[in-house]
Each structure stands twice: as C-alpha cells, then as structure tokens.
Amino acid sequence: MRRFRPFFFLLPAAVVAACSPDSSSSTPASTGPAGAGGAGGTPLPCDVAEALTRCHDCHSSPTQFGAPMSLMTYEDLVRDTPSTPGVSALVRALERMKSTDKPMPPVPRERASFKEYGPLDAWLERGFPPGDPAQKCAPVATPDGGVVAPACEPDTKLRAEAPYSLQEGTSDIYVCYGVDVPAPADRRQITAIIPRVDDKSVVHHIVVFEADKTESPKPHKCKDIFPIDWKAVYAWAPGGPPFVLPEEAGFPMAEGKPTHLVVQVHYSNLKHEAGHVDATGVDLCTTETPRKYDADILWVGGFEFAVPPHQTSTVECTFDWGQNWTKYLPLQVVQSWPHMHQLGRKLTTDLVRADGTRSPLGHADPFSFFDQAAYPVDATVSNGDKFVTRCTWENPTDQTVVWGEETSQEMCFNLLTYYPRIPLPQFSGPAASYLSDCKMQKP
Ligand code: HEC
C-alpha cells in the first residue's frame, strides 16, 4: 500500500457566470405557471406551460434553489436570458434542455425529453404567439422542490448558532457550521438524514460531513479545502430525497464522545439580491436500538492520472478486493457521491462481476461541479467483483493537470455509502483509492 498522503477536498472559488443586473422577474408570485387562464402576466399556450412543468421546481416565481430567472409567463420567456443580452430565455431554455454537458433540469434530475422541448421548438417556429386568455389549461402540480417527508420522526436538529446573512452582491458561496451531537448514553446509530431548506430562493445544495476537528458553530465561509478527516455522509441537491438508511443499517455515532458533524450549505444568488437570511439545517433520526449493521463511506477512484493540455482525457481506476479485503464481502452499497473538480465532465463507477457483467454504482454523466449530488444506489458487492471508476476531464488550459487539492488540480473519487462497515481506522476511507490501479485511456 502506498504511503498515506494527507489530502483535501476542494471548493470552488467562483463558478458563476456574469449576470445582467436586472434578471429578476417582474411577474407577481403565483403557484402554477401562467398558462392560458393562469394568474399574472400574459398567458402561455397550454402545451408550452405544461412542457415547462419540471422547470418550475426552481424557475418559479419567486425563483428557488439558485435559479437565475423565472420561466412562468410569456414575458419571462421572451425576456433576455440573464447571462446573455440579446438572447431570449426561450432560446436559451431550448439550448440547455438539449445540452448534454450542461443540461436543464440539472443533474441528478432526468434529462428533458422530446415531450418537453418538442412543444417549445414548435412554438418558437410558430413565432411564439401568446396563449389565448379564454383557454383553460389543466392544473399543474405546485412546485415543491421534491422535498419529501421520510418515514421517521427526527429527534436531532443540526442548526447553526445563528442564521446566515448573505451579503448583497455575493453570487456564490459555501458556508459551513459545526454541530456537536452529544455522546449518547448507549450505542446509537443515525438512521435518516433529512434536509430542512429555509430560504429556497438561494440554497443550491447541502452536504453533511462527519469531522474529526471542531468547526465553529457560527455559519462562516468554508475554508477553500476539506481536510481528509471530513467524511461526506449525505449530499442534497434540489429534488433529491432525504437519505433513509435501509432497516438493517445505520451510521454509528461516536461512543464516549460527541459526534461532530459539519453542515455545508452552498448558496447561489445569481441575482445578487440583498436581504437573504437563511437558517437551513438538517434533521436526523437516530435509534438507540442498534440495527444489525454499521454503515460507512468507501472512496473508490484514484490518484494516478495526468490530464494533458487542450484535451479531453479519461482515466480508469480499478479496485480489486485482493486477499486482505475479500473477508469483508459481501457488502451492500446504497449511495454514491461522485467528486471531481472544475474540469470534470463525467464520472462513472461500475461493479464488474467475475463473469464480466456490469452494474452501475453512481453515474454522474455529465458531471457538474456546480451541481454535485448524491445518487441512490442498490448493489451487492460479492467476492470476485471489482470497482471500475472512470473519470473524464476536459482541459482547456496550457498545463497538464494532475491529482491535487488546489483549485487548478483535479480529483477522481466516488464516495460510496455501504454496509457492513469494514473495520478500517476512522477517517481512512480513501484507502481503497490508494490500492486502486489507474490507467489513462487512449483518446
Ligand atoms: C433543480 C433546480 C432547477 C430546475 C428543475 C431547472 N433549473 Fe434551470 N437553472 C437552475 C440553476 C441553479 C441555474 C443557474 C446555473 C446554471 O446556469 O447552470 C439554472 C439556469 C438555467 C438557464 C440559464 C440561464 C442563462 O441566462 O444562461 C436556463 C435557460 C434554464 N436554467 C432553463 C431551465 C429549463 C428550461 C428547465 C426545465 C426543463 C430548468 N431550467 C430546470 C436550476 C434549475
């Protein structure tokens, strides 16, 4: 095994494109899209309003989860798109719905289908006439961001000491706070992690880490990097579900000392609005009747890669369980969190069986640094199986990029939540990545 180098996760300095100063919607708030007969603004033809249904989880009025503009009314669609003066939101919407590298809706949501962009294409072709106010459109579901209630009663709340005030003019920031969950009297496990999004207009995603060192309980700008002893146990992006562990497993809480958890909230305020004060947190369900298995995080991927300048390159890293590890099999994998930096375009992990068959263990395709999300997985790892992780980068720079913690360097990890826990020392999850064999693929 290679020597254990300390390393870090990285956060983006700024990943946001320029926005025009007036990107806010002037339409009044309404609960459904303003199709014909809808409230507020000039109505849209019913088929167009319906085709945009999934967009309205975020491009609502007011907007949610960092979306830069609303897409509810006729005016919203014919107005310039925030990032590009002279281009309408309609034209930009069609581009993004068909885009393979920056799709809308964003990952991990399902890509837009022909059923969704077809009516918009046809409407653009017809010269986008407004809808007929006399026509009655079928009602469309109220956007809710997909936050669903889990089947347990939360007993622990992770909240910052005080709400966080987003400074006017800040467009994109990662904010962290630490919470000590007191040491339980008895062995205890976390069985569910539930996002509690407060200011939906600016919260873009949430990650929960278990940490070794104490992080201030006051919400503050996260350090640019994550120390190795931060272990991601949950990641939420709009539309993502709470993480409810299977009935036979739970994350063990530290025994005899508090469990220190860090909540990281990514705020995206592309409209540079003032006055956002947010108290987003996370609720936990815990149990004092321990479940059969302890869950943990295993990092697959690797360190050995070089991405040449002006090229798209792929590395393939294989983790073969080897003799020392097979005794821990079989394992159940339940969640995947793919992690790369800004040049990352695609990350896939497959479980390759002895007979050559493959099952996916989290496919971030495309990978988007801006929309890092956790993917639910359901797979059993048995003796003879290998993990094969492929990372693809697009390097527009003049430099060869290698693994590293700097913004300009790259990573290739997939953090898998699994059980039963392999008795590795606490916070040594990347061990499997050090044992992986990585090969650059022919372009
Ligand atoms: C989960 C929330 C969410 C959903 C659902 C969503 N968007 Fe977005 N959208 C965003 C965010 C956040 C941004 C800003 C970051 C970016 O451009 O990727 C954005 C940006 C955009 C932009 C770029 C605007 C510009 O000026 O460049 C367009 C166009 C867009 N979305 C269209 C759509 C359409 C059309 C749908 C539905 C098919 C949709 N979005 C669904 C969150 C969402």
Digit-coded pLDDT (tens) for 131-173: 888 888 876 655 454 455 567 889 999 999 999 999 888 888 8
- What pLDDT does 428 receive? 66
Q: Is 72 in the pocket of ligand 1 (CB under 6 A)?
A: no
Instruction: Quote the longest CA-to-CA distance of the chain.
Output: 72
398-422: average pLDDT: 89
| pTM of the predicted structure, to 2 decimals | 0.75
Chain-centre distance for alpha carbon 39: 33
Atom of ligand 1 nearest to the CA of 204: 12
- What pLDDT does 149 receive? 58
How far, in Å, is the centroid of ligand 1 from the Cα of 249?
36
How far, in Å, is the centroid of ligand 1 from the Cα of 327?
46
Q: Is 34 in the pocket of ligand 1 (CB under 6 A)?
A: no
pLDDT tens-digit series, residues 219-234: 999 885 566 678 888 9
Instruction: Look at the alpha carbons of 368, 369, 371, 372 in this order and tell me if their dihedral is positive or negative.
Output: positive
pLDDT tens-digit series, residues 45-100: 999 999 999 999 899 888 888 899 999 999 999 999 999 999 999 999 999 999 98
Atom of ligand 1 nearest to the CA of 16: 15
How far, in Å, is the centroid of ligand 1 from the Cα of 68?
7
- What pLDDT does 139 receive? 67
Mean pLDDT of the chain: 84
Atom of ligand 1 nearest to the CA of 83: 26
- What pLDDT does 31 receive? 38
For residue 136, list its beta bridge partners: none
Atom of ligand 1 nearest to the CA of 93: 29
Pocket test for ligand 1, best of 22, 50, 59 (most atoms within 8 A of CB): 59
Q: Residue 27: pLDDT above 80?
A: no
How far, in Å, is the centroid of ligand 1 from the Cα of 65?
10
Q: Are 436 and 323 in contact (CB under 8 A)?
A: no
Give the end-to-end CA distance of the chain in Å, rounded to a whole number. 29
At 183, the pLDDT band (50, 70, 90 cuts) reads confident
Q: Are 150 and 194 in contact (CB under 8 A)?
A: yes
Q: Is 107 in the pocket of ligand 1 (CB under 6 A)?
A: no
Q: Is 76 in the pocket of ligand 1 (CB under 6 A)?
A: no
At 271, the pLDDT band (50, 70, 90 cuts) reads confident
347-367: average pLDDT: 92
- Give CA–CA dist 434/45, Å, rounded: 56
Atom of ligand 1 nearest to the CA of 239: 1
Pair of tokens at residue 121? 């294409």
- Give CA–CA dist 81/301, Å, rounded: 38
Q: Residue 17: pLDDT above 70?
A: no
At 241, the pLDDT band (50, 70, 90 cuts) reads confident
Q: Are 353 and 385 in contact (CB under 8 A)?
A: yes
- Strand 249-252 versus strand 293-294 pairing type: parallel
Whats the size of the chain, residue-wise?
Answer: 443
At 13, the pLDDT band (50, 70, 90 cuts) reads very low
Q: Residue 4: pLDDT above 50?
A: no
For residue 235, list its beta bridge partners: 207
CB neighbour list of residue 310: distance below 8 Å, 6 or more residues apart: 395, 396, 397, 398
- Single-letter code of the amino acid located at 111: R
pLDDT tens-digit series, residues 315-325: 999 998 877 77
How far, in Å, is the centroid of ligand 1 from the Cα of 425?
42
6-11: average pLDDT: 30
At 14, the pLDDT band (50, 70, 90 cuts) reads very low
Return phi, psi of residue 213, to 5°: -95, 155
Pocket test for ligand 1, best of 22, 44, 53, 58 (most atoms within 8 A of CB): 58
- Give CA–CA dist 251/287, Å, rounded: 10
Q: Is 81 in the pocket of ligand 1 (CB under 6 A)?
A: yes
Q: Is 55 in the pocket of ligand 1 (CB under 6 A)?
A: yes
- Between the alpha carbon of residue 301 and those of residues 229, 273, 315, 405, 432, the distances in Å are 18, 39, 9, 15, 8
Q: Are 220 and 174 in contact (CB under 8 A)?
A: no
Q: Domains in the chain and their CATH numbers?
A: 22-142 (no CATH), 147-292 (2.60.120.310), 295-440 (2.60.120.230)
- Give CA–CA dist 61/83, Å, rounded: 18
- Tell me which residue of 298, 287, 319, 288 sits closest to 419, measured CA to CA: 298
Q: Is 53 in the pocket of ligand 1 (CB under 6 A)?
A: no
Instruction: Convert the chain into a string of H (helix), E (strand) and C (coil).
Output: CCCCCCCCEECCCCCCCCCCCCCCCCCCCCCCCCECCCCCCCCECHHHHHHCHHHHHCCCCCCCCCCCCCCCCHHHHHCEECCEEEEEHHHHHHHHHHCCCCCCCCCCCCCCCHHHHHHHHHHHHCCCCCCCCCCCCCCCCCCCCCCCCCCCCCCEEECCCCCEECCCCCCEEEEEEEEEECCCCCCCEEEEEEEECCCCCCEEEEEEEEECCCCCCCCEECCCEECCCEEEEEEECCCCCCEECCCCEEEECCCCCCEEEEEEEEEECCCCCCCCEECCEEEEEEECCCCCEECEEEEEECCCCEECCCEEEEEEEEEECHHHHHHHCCEEEEEEEEECCCCEEEEEEEEECCCCCEEEEEEECCCCHHHCCCEEEEEEECCCCEEEEEEEEEECCCCCEEECCCCCCECCEEEEEEECCCCCCCCCCCHHHHCCEEEECCC
